[in-house]
Amino acid sequence: MTKNQKTRVALVVPHIFLHRDILPYVIFSPGRLALDLAENLKNEDIEVTIYTPGPIDSTVASVHADMTYFSKELEGRGDSYIELLKKHPFTFVSLARQVQSEIIAKAFKAANDGKHDIVHVYTNEEDTALPFSSLCIKPVIFTHHDPFNFLIKYKNVFPKYPYLNWLSLSFAQRTSMPATTNWIGNIYHGLNSETFTPIPNPSDDYIAYLGRIIEPKGVHLAIDAIKEYNRTAKKPLKLKIAGKHYSDSNKDSYWQNSILPRLDDTIEYVGFLKTDKEKQLFLANAKALIVPSVFNEPFGMVLIESLACGTPIIGLNSGAIPEIITSKNGILVTKKDDERATILDLSKAVAIAESIDRKECRLDFEKRFTIERMAHDHANLYRSLLIR
């Protein structure tokens, strides 16, 4: 590469959800991040090509797999991608893995043919690329979006490759990888500055929960905390819960057993918010966002979405949450072995949430969590890797 030549990066996103016919119907924030990162890397003088399973809507150069046979399978069954995923998940995953392998192979070959200087394998399902990265003659970087020990297929294979180039989302995410892992950087996620913004005169009369409604997210703790707060409050607050529950899954009864029976005048389920505008209004009008996760969050996009709206955060000290919450943008609550003690502390945090300055929340977002900052950090890392 000559002195004035642009750094050429293949951003490989092998997860099957990154497809224009699937992405609008699923919760998949890594896909959105990848698209935003690719778009903003152009402003950093990076020549980026994004590799995805299916076609996408993007202004950057893109390469996708041959979905012809997957599509023929759907046509023969009379299903859409989402219908096949729900009815026959094993069949869906089997077909998806074939597509993922194809797109990873295309990216590695293109790099070996001199078309890319770096291959960045981004998002879950990158385990397919691990053993074959040694066949790529250009540097390969890996970013993972879950805790590394979250699923068996990951925790049993990632430790085999500590010598590869690993990039973390948070320092907390690193704790489940071997001490010898070759971390080349830590880059926090970022958002477009205009997607989530504060609103004038927010209603400020409820606490918001936004996310998946599963037990590790601790939604039941949020319910208990609001009920505890309302026992002595002069003016009761609502808890508004937004997100996807899994009542149609035989494997998850959390919604039916722990959440649904407790909905009442002060605990409201508002449904799954499909658009950014819906999420923005939901977050911006809240007195605070509550994030009572009891598992080690690798990052937590909803936290920075809330800050972008100028809305303070109440969160447990799980995983990366303490890396996001500061004394100026929210209240960090320490998890206790005694669940009742944790609930009481969350309730106390609700009571003092209004003392957090909303302007400070937005300023903190602008300083630490914009997509421009995220792209800039990636660009610097790519260049530094090439001169090592």
Residue 93: the pLDDT is 87
Alpha carbon 362 to its chain's center? 20
Query: What SS3 state is found at 270?
Result: strand
Residue 127: the pLDDT is 81
Residues 353, 326 contacting (CB under 8 angstroms)? no
b/e 281-299 (16+ beta carbons within 10 angstroms → b)? bbbbbbbbbbbbbbebbbb
Residue 124: the pLDDT is 63
Rounded to the nearest 10°, the torsion over CA 142, 322, 197, 348 is 150
**What tens-digit pLDDT sequence spans the chain (388 residues)?**
555 678 999 999 999 888 988 888 887 888 899 999 999 999 999 999 999 999 999 999 999 999 888 988 989 999 998 888 888 988 988 898 899 999 999 999 999 999 999 999 997 666 889 999 999 999 999 999 988 887 888 888 899 999 999 999 999 999 989 999 999 999 999 999 999 999 999 999 999 999 999 999 999 999 999 999 999 998 999 999 999 888 776 667 899 999 999 999 999 999 999 899 999 999 999 999 999 999 999 999 999 999 999 999 999 999 999 999 999 999 999 999 999 999 999 999 999 998 999 999 999 999 999 999 999 999 999 999 998 6
Residues 319, 295 contacting (CB under 8 angstroms)? yes
**Cα 72–17–156 angle (5° rounding)?**
110
Question: What's the Cα-to-Cα distance from 74 to each of 40, 56, 273, rounded to whole Å?
Answer: 35, 19, 28
Query: Which class for 185: exposed (0-12), middle (13-18), buried (19 or more C-beta within 10 A)?
Result: middle
Residue 126: the pLDDT is 65
Instruction: In whole angstroms, give the CA distance from residue 287 to residue 307.
Output: 12
CATH topology of domain 7-190+370-386: Rossmann fold (3.40.50)
Residue 250: the pLDDT is 62
What are residue 164's phi and psi, to 5 degrees? -70, 175
Give the relative orientation of helices 371-386 and 29-41 as an angle to the nearest 10 degrees: 70
Q: Architecture of domain 206-368 in CATH?
A: 3-Layer(aba) Sandwich (3.40)
Instruction: In whole angstroms, give the CA distance from residue 184 to residue 114.
Output: 23
Can 7-190+370-386 and 206-368 be said to share one CATH topology? yes
Query: Which class for 32: exposed (0-12), middle (13-18), buried (19 or more C-beta within 10 A)?
Result: middle
Listed by start position, the domains of the chain span: 7-190+370-386, 206-368
Residue 159: the pLDDT is 92
Q: Which helix (H) or strand (E) holds 385?
A: helix 371-386
